[in-house]
Structure 1
């Protein structure tokens, strides 16, 4: 083989190696861009690019985790000084994290600061378990909340935004969540403008670098995983104008921030100074639910399992004792809240119910004024109860007394009285009032 031929072969081989190296450096799935800007005064779309295409939220997920915390604070289910204990699952979350060991605890307010600034994954998981029993159960609560806010294309699978192929959202949905945080919790929204927070001897700086650098930016949240790229939701208020902007799929944090700053500069002057009122409606609890009124006068202690099967003569009284009993801790109260019906492609695990009675031993957890209330109680009970009701089937029964219709929320599938009573006893340890009855 001549020298020139050997040179040509060598050059070809080197070129081949370079090509292989370049291909190896390319991610299996490159992050895709999406952007959206909405006038927070009028709801007018000021910019949209792939805004309704599915994207991974990454740590933008923690915006919903914070929404759930603020909602619990507002409802009085937790306080800022409530202690949140870290389970082994929470403590084992990968960085970024606070590094609290299993069995350790932090206050709710520390959790808020850690989510806003450091975007701590372990704190997110601990909050999820505190409010939802399990992180997966809390994720289902997050998803239902998202859908109730109009975020129909969002599915949550965890509280942190760590990689999960089923956890998806859109730029438009994230803008809706940003608006909801501003409108629904003005008393807590200022947390998002926190520049830094000290935890122990460590200073946690906010990942949102636009704070203090772009005039009018007052929050909200950044996010990054490899599949998502660099995400950012920003809230801006300046000279009477107000917008919420979303950038997803940035190649770097710096390029994402630069693009966001450019979007703000281009769209804010187009925003209106005339505020037309809230853009994201809260669910109004009807008088028939009467949660807030009834809860104020209810006992906060657990009810022991009766020695004999109770005979409930008045389902109206039973409904107050079961459906609306408040929780002494931060576990989700079994309030009758609306739960939207998902379509065939929905990702929320629906509660299967039946309109007719079922024979054998059953456990009743509520008697409510409407069927929708009963369905909601069943769904919330299933989340809170975990494996206790894993083999039970939820259903509703219509009952009329003195001209008033009630809807009993029950679980079937208990072969013996002992099995039903044992399940009820376990439920009561989780502060879920109930009673077992043979049909």
Structure 2
């Protein structure tokens, strides 16, 4: 744990916009006078930390309050694509056509022309690393017949996984007033991706990839920042603020950290790092934490 960068000045980082959350109100073993600064505004902020090996909740604030997922939505798009790979419906070489509707999506995207396609392996990397909206929609149309039908499949799968408060309306996470989730549900999805598809989870640790002869770089700055962080996904739209689901896996500890609604990527990442530090310092005490969800 000594490689984790200490954050003694985190409250100054968040400055006047920070809120103080009394950890005594959370299900932890932290002394009641402990406080942790969190990103503002409160109407967007939510967070949860879960021990992914046991399902025990180590920290939460507003973790069941509805929030906009933004590009965290693409985690479910990938879940269904991984299922299609597992069942043999597609292979990593399968070509996915990019429709006019998919190509017309706003950035971030890879910018396809009419009639072009992308192989499944490159599509996964484009969604994970670039958060490419055009590719996510193309995948949804290919698997669902239409993006609307695919969104219904996504919501149905969410219910199967125990994501009780999530509704998907598109494959990308672009703004839709009816598309919502919670920090808790995103933690459930993050754990499900690792547990169900360990052979595919390595994609989430990639920070760049080559496509058509050029290097495409990502924007998950948690990768390489904290030893043990190996994914998963960032997201942002104006309505949501800066979101992230982060997986930590090192020294026998496996955490899923969700932070939603930060004012900037830097605030979000600082807060995730502080939550990882805090969670690793907690003693394992089953009597003072509670199971987040039942075995599925």
Normalised-by-shorter TM-score class: 0.7 to 0.9
> Pairwise mapping of residues 337-376 of structure 1 onto structure 2 (< 5 A)?
none
Counterpart-to-counterpart distance in 2, 1:211 and 1:102: 34
Which residue does the alignment assign to 2:204? 192
Q: CA deviation at 1:200?
A: 1.6
TM-score w.r.t. the length of structure 1 is: 0.55
**The one of 253, 272, 296 aligned to 2:265:** 253
Distance 1:204 1:281, change over 3 A: farther
SS class of match (1:162): coil
In structure 2, the CA distance between the partners of 1:280 and 1:100, relative to structure 1 (3 Å rule), is farther
The residue that corresponds to 1:160 in the other structure is 172
Q: 2:116 is matched with which residue? A: 104
Q: Secondary structure at the match of 1:117?
A: helix
**Cα distance 1:79–1:246, how it changes in 2: closer, same or farther (>3 A)?**
same
1:203, distance to aligned residue in structure 2 (A):
1.8
Decide which of 43, 50, 63 is 1:38's aligned counterpart. 50
How far 1:201 sits from its partner (Å)? 3.5
Structure 2: 5+ residue stretches without partners: 1-40, 287-292
2:67 to 37, 41, 55: 55
Consecutive unaligned residues in structure 1, runs of 5 or more: 1-28, 283-439
For residues 283 and 99 of structure 2, the distance between their equivalents in structure 1, rounded to whole angstroms, comes to 46
Deviation at 1:75, TM superposition (A): 0.6
Q: Which residue of 2 aligns with 1:209?
A: 221
Q: Deviations over 1:267-295 (max 9, x none)?
A: 12337599xxxx7856xxxxxxxxxxxxx
Instruction: Report the Cα distance in structure 2 between the residues aligned to 1:47 and 1:83, rounded to whole angstroms.
Output: 42
Q: Which moved more, 1:56-65 or 1:198-207?
A: 198-207
Correspondence for 1:116 among 128, 148, 152? 128
TM-superposed CA distance for 1:133, in Å, is 0.2
Q: Distance in 2 between matches of 1:64 and 1:102?
A: 26
| Structure-2 residue corresponding to 1:144 | 156
The aligned counterpart of 1:67 is 79
Q: Which runs of 4+ in 1 moved over 3 A?
A: 271-274, 279-282
Deviation at 1:101, TM superposition (A): 1.3
Deviations 1:237-256 (A, max 9, x none): 12101110000001001111
| Matched residue, 1:230 | 242
The reply to whether residue 175 of structure 1 matches residue 155 of structure 2 is no
Count how many residue pairs are aligned between Structure 1 and Structure 2.
250
* Higher RCO (Cα < 8 Å, 6 or more apart): 2
Q: Matched residues in 2 for 1:177 and 1:59: separation?
A: 13
Pick aligned residue for 1:262 from 262, 274, 277: 274
Q: Deviations over 1:179-238 (max 9, x none)?
A: 000000001000000121011233222221011110100000000000000000000012
Write the distance in 2 (CA, Å) between the matches of 1:101 and 1:273.
56
Contact preservation (8 Å) 1:208, 1:221:
yes
Distance change >3 Å, CA 208–CA 127, structure 1 → 2:
same
SS of the equivalent of 2:249 reads strand
Contact 1:30 1:227 in 2 (8 A): no
1:414 alignment partner in structure 2: none
The structure with the largest alpha-carbon Rg is 1
Q: Tell me the residue number matched to 2:96.
A: 84
> Aligned in 2, Cα 1:271/1:77: closer, same or farther, shift over 3 Å?
farther
Given that 1:154 and 1:170 are in contact with CA atoms closer than 8 Å, whether structure 2 keeps it comes out as: yes
| Aligned mates of 2:89, 2:246 — CA distance in 1 | 29
Matched residues in 2 for 1:242 and 1:131: separation? 32
Normalized against structure 2, the TM-score is what?
Answer: 0.81
Coordinate RMSD, CA, aligned: 1.8
Distance across 1 between alignment mates of 2:84 and 2:294: 19
